[in-house]
Amino acid sequence: MTRSRWARALGATFIFTGVMHFLRPKMYEAIMPPFIPAHEEMVAVSGAAEIIGGVAALFPRAHPFARVWLIALLLAVFPANVHMAINPEDIKGIPDVPRWLLWARLPGQALFIAWVVRATRRN
């Protein structure tokens, strides 16, 4: 796959997940750790951030911005993924997911970061 295809796929993925924050906000609110305030607002902010990063990934001139933005976003949402893996019984409003899959998702963040780097690096 060419770098431009990697970038388009990356952009589409982040735009889709960002839009889902607005279409299914309760699902995203459910995975947020209790120590994070204003769940509803934070879901909207993170959804908008995903859309912004996804759009930036579509434009090669914006790739340096997209790279930093999306990596920061992935790091920022990591605590929610850890919370979900450690406390699956506290997560209401999402389908039952096998516990092993919740744990497997954690190193998956590194794969997403690698995808961001690969899709947005300079020629």
Q: What is the pLDDT of residues 68-99, one digit of tens each?
A: 999 999 999 998 889 888 888 877 766 677 88
Strand locations in the chain (E): none
pLDDT of residue 63: 96
8 A C-beta contact, residue 43 and residue 94? no
Residue among 51, 53, 21 nearest 119 (CA): 53
Domains held by the chain: number = 1
Q: Which helix (H) or strand (E) holds 46?
A: helix 39-57
Q: pLDDT tens digit string along 37-77?
A: 999 999 999 999 999 999 999 999 999 999 999 999 999 99
What range defines the domain where residue 115 resides?
A: 3-120
Higher pLDDT among residues 2 and 76, named by residue: 76
30 contacts 39 by C-beta, under 8 angstroms: no
